[in-house]
Structure 1
Amino acid sequence: MNYKRFFNVIYDDKGRRHWRANDPEPEQKKKEEPEKKKLLNIDYTKALEARQEDNAISKSIGTVKFDKNNKDAEKLLGYYCKMCDFTGRDNLAWLDHLNSESHNRNLGNHMKVEKVTVDAVANHLSNLNHKKNKKPPPKT
């Protein structure tokens, strides 16, 4: 039996679950639906790429973050993805979410990797070698 049909799970500021029989904020959910539709209206044309930016886990080591004004308590604990409305409680769940098909689909990527030729790989390796030696790469 699906309990979500009869009860709403509400989290307090400490992350504890409370079960409510009625939906106290139906208007708020109606406002969030068009925003999600805007985010999810994406053309899936980009191939899967390696991440260029840091995943913010190494940046957040040893830091403490408080947000008293946030009314959504489930978003307070752990790592939160605004695009997918996902909260990861630890860094492994966060990395699994970043690599998941649903997150990449929300970003507009499909899960197929672009095929690369041997010449492109050789060119990329020579650019990396020149970057390592701090010499400008030869122009081809």
Structure 2
Amino acid sequence: MRALLQRVAHASVKVEGELIGRTGPGLLVLVCAMDGDTEAQAEQLAAKTAKLRVFADDAGRMNRALSDTGGGALVVSQFTLAADTRRGNRPGFSAAAAPEVGERLYHHYARALAAHGVAVETGRFGADMKVELLNDGPVTIWLEV
């Protein structure tokens, strides 16, 4: 699985103008299931997300994790993280998991992250979503398991 983490002051997601998910200080997590991924990988990615030290401590160093700060996470599915851009000008997405598998693993990841004590809200799998965020730092981290 792949995830792009963005440390945010706040983030929200809308579908057809309706607010369906948001978070205050914490992480916007764009997540993609790849072909062959498993629930165990979703759980491993969730644990890494919860424990990754990307928040400032009292000395201003990135030494605190989401699970330390009490921050939330807005988890949004994004199959385009599977893009293969090595050839031509049109990205290929054949490495992404099939939609039914991707949706199952997306929800599994969100539940696993919540099990680490993180307040989790989500987007809507497969929907045309409008995501707004105020990037904090900016801090953007790529994770892959």
Q: What TM-score do you get using the length of structure 1 for normalisation?
A: 0.22
More strand by share: 2
More helix by share: 1
**Structure ranking higher on relative contact order (CA contacts 8 Å, 6+ apart):** 2
